[in-house]
Amino acid sequence: MSQPLLGTVVAAQANYYFVRLTSGEQLLCVKRALLRKLGHRVMVGDQVEVEEPDWQGMRGAICGVLPRRSLLDRPPVANASQVLLVFAMAQPALDEIQLSRFLVTAESTGIEVLLCLSKADLIEPEEQADWRQRLTDWGYPPLLISAQSGWGRDALLGRLADGITVVSGPSGVGKSSLINWLIPDLEIRVSAVSGKLERGRHTTRHVELFELPQGGLLADTPGFNQPDLLGSPEEIGQYFPEVRSRQGHCQFSDCLHREEPGCGVRGDWDRYDFYLLVLEEAIARAAIEAKQANRKTNLKQKNKGQGQVTYEPILDTKYRKKGRNTEQQTMKLLKGKPEDLPEEPD
């Protein structure tokens, strides 16, 4: 039997996977039953082994999945090496709170973050310079581009030449237009920005990898306007480059950088108020999760017979059903025979 062929899953729909082999051919594949039985999930970006290729029909079967270097659940992409966060500088205007939320979410993946600002030609050079300096202070020197004028294309392609890059950002900032600009052979549907809300409508419905002219793969993902912020209160600080760069000035390893004396992180930096906001959200979320976990522990197991097991809440003492001995003692007391009750200790 011949050795399996190696390839990368570039798209997935239902139970079918499009695999681009290292030799350049693309096969339509299914997953072997053994992988399904073992619960092995095949994702876009996975390095896989393909056996028994049918070259006439360009089909094959995935028989193995190589170990992953990274894994994203939202969007579902394996082996991504960086996140390309795309925001528009105009139409819609750059929203620093929304941008910060996306940056924190991208940081939580543990993958390198590359910030790209599109439609840079629509604002004045002075404003461009102000944003460039401000975002550099945040820890994200931005790439400014303009698909309309062609400005910045080569610089961006150079940053995307290796590995798998996941494109992310809110709807309506021109992600699909950017991909069409970078890969002219593609035809991705571009939707108009909502004039009323200056927010875009979703145009991408699934994850797919596109090969870039200078190498590398680009993963387009569905846009969303308000990403979920995850992480424990202790982890939030690591999602801010400003905190990481100041970490050595803090006396405490478990400091939340709020009101602790001797903290060298809290202070007058641009996003400090936003950091406190995200921290409070994380603290509130942790409290809710702890309450829900405590609620699950307040259950008792009850065997119903024939192997059936149910769980019932542990009631407060005043709500519990009284046992038979307790009921008998209560009845004797009500009948006026306290001598029949056990004596209380002195």
**What integer is the mean pLDDT of 185-194?**
52
- pLDDT at position 341 is 47
Nearest CA to 62 out of 37, 33, 39, 22 is that of 33
> Residue 190 — very low, low, confident or very high, per pLDDT cuts 50/70/90?
very low
What is the CATH architecture assignment of 237-295? Answer: Orthogonal Bundle (1.10)
Round to the nearest angstrom and report the end-to-end CA distance of the chain.
87
Examine the pLDDT at 291 and tell me if it is beyond 90: no
- pLDDT at position 177 is 80
Token readout for 208 is: 């797919």
Secondary structure of the chain in HEC code, one letter for each residue: CCCCEEEEEEEEECCEEEEEECCCCEEEEEECHHHHHCCCCCCECCEEEEEEEECCCCEEEEEEECCCCCEECCCCEECEEEEEEEEECCCCCCCHHHHHHHHHHHHCCCCEEEEEEECHHHCCHHHHHHHHHHHHHHCCCCEECECCCCECHHHHHHHCCCCEEEEECCCCCCHHHHHHHHCCCCCCCCCCEECCCCEECCCCCCCEEEECCCCCEEEECCCCCCCCCCCCHHHHHHHCHHHHHHHHHCCCCCCCCCCCCCCCCCCCCCCHHHHHHHHHHHHHHHHHHHHHHHHHHCEEEEEEECCEEEEEECCCHHHCCCCHHHHHHHHHHHCCCHHHCCCCCC
Domain with CATH 3.40.50.300 in the chain: 77-220
- pLDDT at position 325 is 67
Q: Give pLDDT tens digits for 230-283.
A: 788 999 999 999 999 988 788 777 889 988 887 888 888 999 999 999 999 999
Examine the pLDDT at 158 and tell me if it is beyond 90: yes
Most confident range (mean pLDDT) of 2-11, 284-293, 315-324 is: 2-11
CATH code at 77-220: 3.40.50.300
> Residue 79 — very low, low, confident or very high, per pLDDT cuts 50/70/90?
very high
Range of lowest pLDDT (13-17, 122-126, 272-276): 13-17
- pLDDT at position 322 is 54
CATH superfamily of 5-67: Nucleic acid-binding proteins (2.40.50.140)
Domain with CATH 1.10.40 in the chain: 237-295
Higher pLDDT: 202 or 247? It is 247
Examine the pLDDT at 310 and tell me if it is beyond 70: no
Examine the pLDDT at 154 and tell me if it is beyond 70: yes
Token readout for 247 is: 């970490």
Range of lowest pLDDT (81-85, 127-131, 242-246, 304-308): 304-308
Higher pLDDT: 84 or 262? It is 84
pTM higher than 0.85: no
Q: What is the mean pLDDT of the chain?
A: 81
- pLDDT at position 260 is 82
Q: What percent of the chain has pLDDT over 90?
A: 45
